Amino acid sequence: MKTSKTKEQAKIIIEKSIAAFGLPQNMKTDPQIMKSVIEELKLDDFRTKNKLMNKLFKDIISKPQKLQPMFDNIKKGLLLKHPAIIEFADLALKENWFKPSDHIIRSVHVMYILEVLTATMCNNHDFFIEVQDHYKNNEEKLGLNTRHIFRTLVHALEISRNLFIIAKAYTLDPLMIYFRIQRGLSKSHLTKKELDELYKNNDINYIEYKVLSPIHKNGLEHINELIRLNIYEAGITEYKNNLKINAISAYELSEDIKNNPPSTIFKRKSVIPEKNTDPFYASITKKENLFPVIKFNQNWISLYLTWNMAFVLGNLKNVDIILPKLLIPSIINAKSDNFMGARIISLWMTINHDIFRHYDKKEFLGPTNKTEMAIAWSKINKKYAFDLANRETHEDSKTLMKNYNRFFLHPIWNLLKLLTRYS
């Protein structure tokens, strides 16, 4: 669905939004803030064999880094791919919702390091493994070891009472393990014997064992079911938190996957923002890189992002570290078939960041009027959800709302029916 804004109008809205947040055109990172962010991410003791990343980590805590290349990529993605976000920004400017703050400045720094990590993990499997191992070691220090499901759940709830965050961690770990194993293979999936061996050696837990089992002919399509599960988890959360309008978008996104399942293959390719000119990306790409290609169309991706942004704003704390995962260039300006793989990695990094922050007894409640903003944003998203339903599932708004209301009469039961695929 196209926005009513012209390209020039959209450019002006983007520039005015950046200015309203108090972000100068020539902004650079602050090494002290970056050092603080890296410490909060538990990366201050991270060591890698990747010489480029070692140098970059040293540089970003010792001297300012230009932010303009990142901003340019974000602007490009917003302008070309995300009309609903432009519409919300236009409304926010009229309502004077965008204001400068220290949290905005910190978010930009989080965005910078998250993009560096996500992009490099997408393009370098060895670095992916190093980061994953580092975080698993840090989680174990907190008593979080997903190989021991129930013991870890008790520890997790002691750290954070946010069941949504805990549920996300449990459903993301299998996907990350799947990526790790699959990217190291030349075949489509693990054999049952190989999976049995991993489970026997406690390398994976029972949930991960079931998720990694090839339940479809090509052994890959169960990724779609996990993505549906993640979306429905969020949709049920916002429905129960009285952000029911936004849950319409969650319902449509999930049902579209069921009716139009994207094809999923692993392919050797570079994973970089579209039409970018930043030399950083050329420095991290590897010809032999294997990455999941999950072919969602751009209309679905655009609704997913704008829905998820409104969800975060209306339902979660720590929006200063959670919203950046949706705005980094590897997400906001992704090629459509790279989007979901990069999205899973950036989300996994962010969920870990949020858990570490809760453990350190820190939290940011967000702007006082964030619910008002989320409701206004949800109304914009609803229009795009109706359009996606009409385009992709050939449902008019009345049919979509009828099915949506039926699902949310018994949302937990319907979610459990999805979970039974892994029981």
Residue 423 has pLDDT above 70, yes or no: no
Question: Do the bridges between strand 290-294 and strand 264-268 make them parallel or antiparallel, or are there none, so unpaired?
Answer: antiparallel
Longest alpha-carbon distance in the chain: 60
| Tens digit of each residue's pLDDT (9 = 90 or more) over 124-183 | 999 999 999 998 888 777 666 655 555 555 444 444 555 444 555 556 777 787 788 777
Place 216 in a pLDDT band, splitting at 50, 70 and 90.
very low
Residue-level pLDDT at 208: 64
Residue 331 has pLDDT above 90, yes or no: yes
| Tens digit of each residue's pLDDT (9 = 90 or more) over 238-266 | 999 999 999 999 999 999 998 999 988 88
Residue-level pLDDT at 143: 65
Place 327 in a pLDDT band, splitting at 50, 70 and 90.
very high
Residue-level pLDDT at 199: 77
Region 215-238: mean pLDDT is 75
Residue 206 has pLDDT above 90, yes or no: no
Cα(116)–Cα(111) distance, rounded to whole angstroms?
Answer: 9
CB-based contact 18:96 (threshold 8 Å): no
Cα(85)–Cα(92) distance, rounded to whole angstroms?
Answer: 10
More confident residue, 97 or 142: 97
Q: What is the pTM of this model?
A: 0.89
| DSSP one-letter code for 48 | -
For the residues of 198-237, what is the DSSP string, one character each? HHHTTSS-HHHHHHHS--STTS-THHHHHHHHHHHHHHHH
Place 65 in a pLDDT band, splitting at 50, 70 and 90.
very high
Region 229-246: mean pLDDT is 90
Place 5 in a pLDDT band, splitting at 50, 70 and 90.
confident
Phi, psi angle pair for 144, to nearest 5°: -105, 110
Range scoring the smallest mean pLDDT among 142-146, 270-274, 290-294, 336-340: 142-146
Cα(75)–Cα(108) distance, rounded to whole angstroms?
Answer: 14
- Torsion of Cα atoms, 37 then 42 then 44 then 46, to 10°: -130
Of these ranges, 26-40, 252-266, 361-375, 403-417, the one predicted with the greatest mean pLDDT is 26-40
Cα(300)–Cα(134) distance, rounded to whole angstroms?
Answer: 33
Percentage of the chain modeled with pLDDT above 70: 84
| DSSP one-letter code for 391 | I
Local structure of 293: helix, strand or coil: strand
Residue-level pLDDT at 238: 93
